[in-house]
Structure 1
Amino acid sequence: MEMGFHENEQNQEFSNLMEIGSGHYGCSHYRRRCKIRAPCCDEIFDCRHCHNEAKDSLHIEQHHRHELPRHEVSKVICSLCETEQDVQQNCSNCGVCMGKYFCSKCKFFDDDLSKKQYHCDDCGICRTGGEENFFHCKRCRCCYSKIMEDKHRCVEGAMHHNCPVCFEYLFDSTRDITVLRCGHTMHLECTKDMGLHNRYTCPVCSKSICDMSNLWKKLDEEVAAYPMPKLYENKMVNKMKFDISFSCVCLWLCRLSDLD
């Protein structure tokens, strides 16, 4: 009975340490109970994003700009007792849990478990969404939803480049990313912005990013409604075609331009 009492007491103490200060510390990027000392500039920041916003912005002279190397972080500061220490989940001084989710490989802390964080060894970083919902594509070298496992088109290093619209590096971006039909990737928000400006082709390869069959059908109907003059019926113009569907209207559009 006494052993069981002490065990319950220890469990309660552990639970308290997990909850003390939870949700009350952190920054706009993460809820966490510690800060990090940047190994690159020896300054203290709430997280790597806070560091990058301060040290890698256009307001900083170009030769001073730099990003924080996340895997090289070796010191953290407890937000409750302000003790600086080696990277670990619980504070060495007050014992509080500095992050309910903790990754010793990425030196990453987060109190918001609703994100379903997990570490992908192949990517080498932590991701969100639940490990059970994603798979790592060896050729694309990134994690995709399991819904796409046998359906996506592989592109070597698909996310290891900047978004072709906003130029933010995609691989470790915190914003939602979409995979286009051609296999290229970009931010979902940027894709929607393109649609608002009637842009429906991949910025990288110029192939259609959505089903354009209704548009092609409409154009075919317009072509049929306006037959070409006999003088131009057999005139051919060579044009580069990026999309199979596009080829059916390309010739007609080229011919119209020749009439001007």
Structure 2
Amino acid sequence: MCLPIRLKIDGHRCVENISRSHCPVCLGDIHTSRIPCHIPDCGHLLHKTCFDQLLNSGHYTCPICQTSLIDMTALWEYLDAQAVSLPVPKKYENQRIHIFCNDCHKTSKTKFNFIGLKCMQCGAYNTTQDVKRRMSLVADEPSSA
């Protein structure tokens, strides 16, 4: 398979036989397909047409690991502004929620807000409260430190 050179430059970690899988969107075989592949930052392979289809239908996370597929900075900034403008009821203003971030794979405690639960590490709102389950899913990934 032809892969972008940036994967090697950006500290890509090889995953043996990664192309010997199925596209998580259409379930077509990646290795034998004539459809070009798209490789998001998380490293999971998708057909380029399936990737485009995901984005066009409003799905911005990897169907395998839930990491953001594109730069979501503008949305996170918009949500920050919305969170400031939406007051939290008094009984929730000191509430802290333990979260897992699907983008940076770190846990943190964040203030409760109806808009979303912001990661204190990377600023993303792509988070979940199911910390133990998500940590078990990324336990096999090497640390990026």
Bin of the TM-score, shorter chain as denominator length: 0.5 to 0.7
* In structure 1, C-alpha distance between the alignment counterparts of 2:33 and 2:111, rounded to whole Å: 37
RMSD: 2.6
TM-score, with structure 2 as normaliser: 0.67
Shift of 1:239: 3.6
- Post-superposition Cα deviations, 1:133-176, rounded to whole Å, max 9, x if no partner, equal xxxxxxxxx53133443126335132221000000110121001
Query: Quick one: which amino acid aligns to residue 194 of structure 1?
Result: L
Question: Where does 1:196-211 land on structure 2 (aligned, <5 Å)?
Answer: 196-211=56-71
Query: Quick one: which amino acid aligns to residue 56 of structure 2?
Result: L
Which 5+ residue runs of structure 1 have no aligned equivalent? 1-141, 255-260
Corresponding position of 2:94: 234
Cα gap change, 1:145 to 1:239, in 2 (>3 Å):
closer
Shift of 1:229: 1.9
* In structure 2, C-alpha distance between the alignment counterparts of 1:234 and 1:158, rounded to whole Å: 45
DSSP 3-state at the match of 1:224:
helix
DSSP 3-state at the match of 1:192:
helix
- Contact 1:153/1:182 (<8 A) preserved: no
Corresponding pairs, count: 112
- Contact 2:95/2:111 (<8 A) preserved: no
Query: Quick one: which amino acid aligns to residue 84 of structure 2?
Result: A
* In structure 2, C-alpha distance between the alignment counterparts of 1:228 and 1:186, rounded to whole Å: 40
Question: Where does 1:1-260 land on structure 2 (aligned, <5 Å)?
Answer: 142-151=1-10, 153-156=12-15, 157-244=17-104, 251-252=112-113, 253=116
Which 5+ residue runs of structure 2 have no aligned equivalent? 118-145
Query: Quick one: which amino acid aligns to residue 28 of structure 2?
Result: E
* In structure 2, C-alpha distance between the alignment counterparts of 1:214 and 1:248, rounded to whole Å: 23
Computing the radius of gyration over CA atoms, which structure comes out larger, 1 or 2?
A: 1
Percent identity over paired residues? 28
